[in-house]
Amino acid sequence: MDDPKAIIETYVDDVVRHLPRRQRHDVGYELRSLLNEDLDGRAADSGRPADAATALELLTAFGRPQEVADRYRPAGFTVIRPADAPGFARLALGGLVLQWAVTLTAAFTTPAPTDAWIYADSWWGRLTTWWLSWGLGSFWWPGFLITLTLISAAFARRRPEAKPWTPRRTLDRDHVNRPAIVLGLAAGMLGATLMIALPWLAVWAPGLPQPLLDAFAFDPQFLHRRAVWALPLWAAGFAVQTVVLIAGRWDRRTRLVRLVLGLGWLVLLGWWLAAGRIFAADAADGTARLGLLLVVGFVIVDIVVTVRRTPASIRPPVVRA
């Protein structure tokens, strides 16, 4: 294609293809006329007739057709703000990878249906079946997120003006609710007392029926070797709560002690669960283990919350004299 006018014609076609239909003829006619005039101007400046090289030079400087078409359009709107982009990418890709991990594992571990194609049980047959079902199907998640984001962006555009920023309510997480601590201490002490008294149930409640007394009979090994370690942890826990009650707030030191106590409880409960029976009766032992597993869950949550709320120790920089 050596005719410079034909090159411009093709270029204009490529630009207007990306424009709204109602603009195409008007912008196309004007753009063609201006580019031809520019081409003639360049040719006159160089003192030689317009050729394909001059036209290409002009059009290269003008820009790629799609970019030029973008310039003709009004500024678009932001679908995902730059600050939200990394989080959005993590959420979209994380959801996709999670679905793939779960469904791919299932695809290779569940037995292939007997009425499926003959290669359904081979590794590549399973992979193909998975890809054509869950593999591709998992892309619903990024699509769903994009659709929600588009709807949200459209609503945001309709809103006349964003509200001015106001400081969010500051939460003083170190401040404690004294009545709650008192109640917690009372309940904890009552619970600890009951637990400590349980091995002597027959002594202080002799009127209870024998099957009930048998049900709450501790395993002797547990009672003598493992149970006793709960006492220092309880005592330390009550001491920390009392200190916090007096101070009226948590600080780094009390949080660290709570963290250590939480880890101590985790180790002790793990030992209790792993080292043998807790109650002599099977039913009571099974129930106790289930209850202790629940307590382990609570302790883990408490440790995580304490770690998050323990303020980092900020040391001043070393300043050279």
Partner 1 sequence: MVDSPAGQSLKLEQDLRKGVLVLAVLSQLRTQQYGYSLRQALAERGMPIEEGTLYPLLRRLESQGLLASQWQVDDGPPRRYYTLSVQGAEAYRELTGAWRSLTSVVDRLVDEEG
The residues binding partner 1 (CB under 8 A) are 26-27, 29-31, 33-35, 37-38, 41, 58, 61-63, 67-68, 71-72, 74
Q: Cβ 14 to partner 1, closest distance in Å?
A: 13
Q: Cβ 4 to partner 1, closest distance in Å?
A: 15
Separation of CA 209 from chain center: 53
**Cα–Cα separations (whole angstroms), residue 10 to 3, 24, 33, 114:** 11, 14, 13, 59
In the complex with partner 1, the residue whose CB is nearer, 58 or 244, is: 58
In the complex with partner 1, the residue whose CB is nearer, 33 or 122, is: 33
Q: Cβ 19 to partner 1, closest distance in Å?
A: 10
With the CA atoms of 256, 258, 263 and 266 taken in that order, what torsion angle do they form, in degrees rounded to the nearest 10?
-170
Q: Cβ 115 to partner 1, closest distance in Å?
A: 56
Contact 124, 135 (CB under 8 A): no
In the complex with partner 1, the residue whose CB is nearer, 75 or 171, is: 75
Q: Cβ 53 to partner 1, closest distance in Å?
A: 17
In the complex with partner 1, the residue whose CB is nearer, 18 or 277, is: 18
Report the alpha-carbon distance of residue 104 to residue 98 in Å, rounded. 10
Contact 30, 14 (CB under 8 A): no
In the complex with partner 1, the residue whose CB is nearer, 54 or 241, is: 54
Contact 268, 230 (CB under 8 A): yes
In the complex with partner 1, the residue whose CB is nearer, 57 or 214, is: 57
Q: Cβ 44 to partner 1, closest distance in Å?
A: 12
Report the alpha-carbon distance of residue 32 to residue 8 in Å, rounded. 7
Closest-CA residue to 5 (of 46, 44, 47, 59): 59
Separation of CA 243 from chain center: 36
Q: Cβ 77 to partner 1, closest distance in Å?
A: 16
- Alpha helix segments (H runs only) across 47-175: 52-62, 65-72, 85-109, 123-130, 136-137, 140-158
In this structure, what token pair is assigned to residue 20? 């709204």
In the complex with partner 1, the residue whose CB is nearer, 63 or 270, is: 63
